[in-house]
Chain A
Amino acid sequence: MLKKIFALLLLVFLQSSWAFAHDIFGFPRHRGVEPLVDKKYESSCGECHFAYQPGLLPSRSWAKMMRPEQLEDHFGENAELAEKERLYILKFLTENGADKTWHYKRSVKINQSIPENVTPLRITETPYIKKKHMEIPRRMIQDNKKVRGLSYCNKCHTEAVSKGQFSRTNVDIPNFRNWDDLID
């Protein structure tokens, strides 16, 4: 009995010190963004494009994007939703925005890189993402027929969809499999 209590206390201690380390050092953190999946989000947004994880933009950006007049002109496309759906997606996105997590490294960095008075609508215009892709030549992205633009994350980030991972190690640029030798 005493042993069990001791073990339990030890467990609580380990757990809390783990959480403490987590909060103080931000370590260990997950490397990507939270790979959240929501069926309604998938069907409402993912039918036209890769369903960008909510952790790729701060909540204020999602709130702006999900305004009815914004959805009517969604980067030139019409992405209107029935009000009930719209509110559901709005809630899903704003509750899981990049500013709502401490544990997913990319989200934290994306959020930190955006000045407080700015509300970007494009993930590709957040300073962190911009800087990370600054040196990739046009021929690999914009002029690459199999990629076409920075917005198509999952064309090169092979684990973007399934795991929310965007590390260098799982990048595969179509037509430029040896990109790592070409860029550095």
Chain B
Amino acid sequence: MYKMMLFAVMLLGTSAVQAGDGTVIDEVLAGYQAEGVGSFSAEHGKEMWIAKHEGPLGLDGNPSGEAFKIRRDDEPRSRSCQTCHGTDLSLPGKHWRTGKLINPMSPKAKPVEVDEDDGPRFSDKAKIEKWFLRNCKWTVGRECTGQEKGDLLSFLRNQ
């Protein structure tokens, strides 16, 4: 019994370590490759990360009521990943509208908002896909392709 428990603890321990060490990213990348993507380019991922997109800004594009309108000087001129995640990936980002802090994108950086259920960066497949869907549509105006998502992940995992 004691041995079994020890084994279970060890198993848990290793899985926790695994979550942060990029195995999930590997799985996700393998998934894109299974859909027909060849190789990934961290270089292209970086370009995408900093690329600016003209888009309807929340203020004018939406019949937002007075309440959620943000101050004019806080309004971004264009949209990019950096609008919310900031320029330094080791530092926390800030939701451009709500101001809520976003944990740093770098897997090595220390999270600021610690939620007991939240693993480290890129440790939850569903979460990765949820945010790719939301953020690609907001930033670029469409869903990202498997190639693009793979490129972005390849860039971000080594930051």
**A163 an interface residue at 8 Å Cβ cutoff?**
no
Please report the C-alpha to C-alpha distance between residue A81 and residue B131 in the assembled complex, in whole angstroms: 9
Please report the C-alpha to C-alpha distance between residue A103 and residue B134 in the assembled complex, in whole angstroms: 37
Q: What string of 1s and 0s marks CB contacts (under 8 Å) between A65-78 and chain B?
A: 00000001101111
Distance between B1 CB and nearest chain A CB, rounded to angstroms? 31
- Return the chain A residue nearest B57 by Cβ: A76
Within 8 A of A (CB), among B64-116: 64-71, 74, 95, 97-100, 102, 115
**A43 an interface residue at 8 Å Cβ cutoff?**
yes
A149 near B62 with CB under 8 A, answer: no
**A48 an interface residue at 8 Å Cβ cutoff?**
yes
In the complex, which of the residues B57, B68, B95, B127 has the most CB atoms of chain A within 10 Å of its own CB atom? B68
Contacts of A85 in B (CB 8 A): 130
Contacts of B61 in A (CB 8 A): 76
**B137 an interface residue at 8 Å Cβ cutoff?**
yes
Q: What string of 1s and 0s marks CB contacts (under 8 Å) between B16-34 and chain A?
A: 0000000000000000000
A48 near B95 with CB under 8 A, answer: yes
- The size class of the interface chain A forms with chain B is 20 to 34
How many B residues, CB 8 Å from partner? Answer: 32
B58 near A122 with CB under 8 A, answer: no
Q: Within the complex, which residue of B58, B118, B134 is in contact with A79, where a contact is CB–CB below 8 Å?
A: B134
B97 near A80 with CB under 8 A, answer: no
Within 8 A of B (CB), among A20-63: 39, 42-44, 47-50
Please report the C-alpha to C-alpha distance between residue A75 and residue B61 in the assembled complex, in whole angstroms: 10
A78 near B67 with CB under 8 A, answer: no
**A125 an interface residue at 8 Å Cβ cutoff?**
yes
Contacts of A77 in B (CB 8 A): 58, 97, 134, 138
Please report the C-alpha to C-alpha distance between residue A145 and residue B73 in the assembled complex, in whole angstroms: 11
**A150 an interface residue at 8 Å Cβ cutoff?**
yes
A149 near B68 with CB under 8 A, answer: yes
Contacts of B97 in A (CB 8 A): 75-77
Q: Within the complex, which residue of A48, A81, A145, A150 is in contact with B67, where a contact is CB–CB below 8 Å?
A: A150
A78 near B129 with CB under 8 A, answer: no
Contacts of B115 in A (CB 8 A): 42-43
B137 near A75 with CB under 8 A, answer: no
Contacts of B69 in A (CB 8 A): 142, 149
- If A43-B117, A49-B100 touch, whether A124 touches B130 (CB-CB below 8 Å) is no
Besides A78-B133, A82-B126, 19 other CB < 8 A contacts? A43-B117, A50-B98, A72-B137, A73-B62, A75-B68, A77-B97, A77-B138, A78-B134, A78-B135, A82-B129, A82-B130, A125-B65, A142-B69, A148-B70, A148-B74, A149-B67, A149-B68, A149-B70, A150-B67
Binding site for A on B (CB under 8 A): 57-59, 61-62, 64-71, 74, 95, 97-100, 102, 115, 117-118, 126-127, 129-130, 133-135, 137-138
Q: Shortest 8 CB-CB distances between A and B: which pairs?
A: A76-B58, A124-B67, A76-B62, A49-B98, A78-B138, A78-B134, A150-B67, A78-B137
Binding site for B on A (CB under 8 A): 39, 42-44, 47-50, 72-73, 75-82, 85, 122, 124-125, 142-143, 145, 148-152
